[in-house]
Structures are given as structure tokens and as C-alpha cells.
């Protein structure tokens, strides 16, 4: 059996939404990425996600500060594995509370044709690993 009908809950785990009756998480995103916790943004490589955030800053004057975020100012991954929280740490220095996570997603949607060539191996392999793990877990339930 292949997992074909699933939902992402709390942006941290994939759960079955109907094909296989169960009441637990099917797979945790952090398990695929190799961290204690993760959200959907963590599926992308930090460099690629930063490119999306910076693109928002160049395109949206109300979020221009996003264009100045640099990875060398982030805390180390060992301090916090979540990419959005590492960016939040930088934004605090600019008197911003936290990153608005929707604009980078929308930016990718608007510029996907230009960005597809810039997608790195980590950003490609992590979702593939996620779906492979989810399908393996679903197959184990059959």
C-alpha cells in the first residue's frame, strides 16, 4: 500500500487522513531530517530557504529587513535546529519579533520557474526521503 491521502499537522508531522485508520503520527519530520524537531521549512536546505526569505525582502518593502538576513548571523544548528527560529534570532536584532513564514512560500510560488534551477540536492532529497519514509510506515500498517 502507498500513502496517498495524508495531512500535515502542526507542520511537524505527517498523519494519515483516511486511507489507513490510526490515531498516531505516521512519521515525524525531524526523524527524516535528523533533528529533534522540525517544521516544513526545515525540509529545505538553509541556503535555499534563506534565498526565499531574502527574495521577499527585495520584493516587499514592508519586509525589506528580510533582505538583510545573513546565515553567518544565525545561531548554530546545535543551538536550535529549526531554521525559522534561527532567523527569528537575527530579526530580534532588528526589532522584529519573528519571521512571517507565509511570504517565503508565496515568493517561491511566484518565482518557481526561476528558482527551480537553484534548488540544491538537500532540498530535493529531504522531501523524497520524507515520502519514502511515510510510504514505508504506511506499508507496515497494511
pLDDT digits (tens, 9 = 90+) for 77-121: 888 889 999 999 999 988 888 999 999 999 999 999 999 999 999
Q: Quote the cell numbers at residue 57.
A: 525582502
Task: Clarify whether residues 70 and 5 are in a common domain.
Answer: no
What pTM did the predictor assign? 0.77
Report phi then psi at 7, rounded to 5: -135, 155
Task: Please check whether residue 142 lies inside any domain of the structure.
Answer: no
The count of residues in the chain is 142
Residues of the domain holding 33: 1-44+122-136
In this structure, are 28 and 59 located in the same domain?
no
pLDDT at 69: 93
Cell triple for 66: 528580510
- The tens digit of pLDDT for each residue in 1-52 reads 344 444 444 444 455 454 444 445 667 788 888 887 888 898 899 999 999 9
For the chain, what is the domain count?
2
Let me know whether 82 and 30 are in one domain. no
Q: Please check whether residues 13 and 55 belong to one and the same domain.
A: no
The Cα 126–Cα 142 span in angstroms is 25
Asked if 103 contacts 56 with a C-beta cutoff of 8 angstroms, the reply is: yes
Amino acid at each position: 500500500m502507498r500513502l496517498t491521502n495524508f495531512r500535515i499537522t502542526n507542520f511537524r508531522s505527517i498523519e494519515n487522513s483516511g486511507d489507513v485508520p490510526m490515531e498516531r503520527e505516521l512519521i515525524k519530520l525531524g526523524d527524516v531530517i535528523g533533528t529533534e524537531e522540525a517544521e516544513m521549512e526545515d525540509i529545505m536546505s538553509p541556503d535555499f530557504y534563506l534565498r526565499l526569505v531574502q527574495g521577499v525582502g527585495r520584493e516587499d518593502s514592508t519586509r525589506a529587513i528580510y533582505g538583510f538576513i545573513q546565515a553567518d548571523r544565525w545561531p548554530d544548528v546545535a543551538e536550535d535546529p529549526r531554521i525559522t527560529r534561527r532567523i527569528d534570532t537575527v530579526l530580534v536584532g532588528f526589532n522584529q519579533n519573528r519571521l512571517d513564514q507565509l511570504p517565503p512560500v508565496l515568493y517561491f510560488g511566484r518565482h518557481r520557474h526561476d528558482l527551480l534551477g537553484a534548488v540544491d540536492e538537500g532540498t530535493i532529497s529531504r522531501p523524497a526521503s520524507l515520502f519514502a519514509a511515510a510510504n514505508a510506515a504506511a506499508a507496515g500498517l497494511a
